[in-house]
């Protein structure tokens, strides 16, 4: 079955340093989504990537979707203490579409700690 792997599991950075988390799927994805979970909270949607090679930016966050639609990355420039939390990628299988919502599979998440 579809597996989504995410690395690293933990990342500790000093405020102002950059941060990157990587996501790899065992199968081709129709799209990939990224979520952020603050400590003690629930996952909140950040962005969705659909097209092969797509790159999207949200302020200091840059999201990429690989050409083969099997991998993705999230890069944060100049981290701030407000970036603390767990970042998850989530993939929908390549055959999802039409009236099928598909099996939304999450990676293990990367726990980001930012030291002031």
Partner 1 sequence: DGGITQSPKYLFRKEGQNVTLSCEQNLNHDAMYWYRQDPGQGLRLIYYSQIVNDFQKGDIAEGYSVSREKKESFPLTVTSAQKNPTAFYLCASRGDTNTEAFFGQGTRLTVV
Residues that bind partner 1 (CB under 8 A): 1, 6, 9, 31, 33, 35, 41-45, 48, 50, 88, 90, 96-109
Nearest Cα neighbor of 48 from 67, 66, 61, 35 is: 35
**Closest to partner 1 by CB, 2 or 77:** 2
Q: Please state, in angstroms and rounded to a whole number, the distance separating the CA atoms of residues 36 and 45.
A: 7
Asked if 92 and 4 count as a contact pair (C-beta separation under 8 A), the reply is: no
**Closest to partner 1 by CB, 10 or 115:** 10
Q: How far is the CB of 109 from partner 1 (least distance, A)?
A: 4
Q: How far is the CB of 103 from partner 1 (least distance, A)?
A: 6
């Amino acid at each position: 079955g579809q597996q989504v792997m995410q690395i690293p599991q933990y990342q500790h950075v000093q405020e102002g340093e950059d941060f990157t988390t990587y996501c790899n799927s065992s199968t081709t994805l129709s799209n990939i989504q990224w979520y952020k979970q603050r400590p003690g909270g629930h996952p909140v949607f950040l962005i969705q990537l659909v097209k092969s090679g797509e790159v999207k930016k949200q302020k200091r966050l840059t999201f990429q979707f690989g050409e083969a639609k099997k991998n993705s990355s999230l890069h944060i420039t100049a981290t701030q203490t407000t970036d603390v939390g767990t970042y998850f990628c989530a993939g929908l299988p390549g055959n999802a579409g039409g009236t099928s919502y598909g099996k939304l599979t999450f990676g293990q998440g990367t726990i980001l700690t930012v030291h002031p």
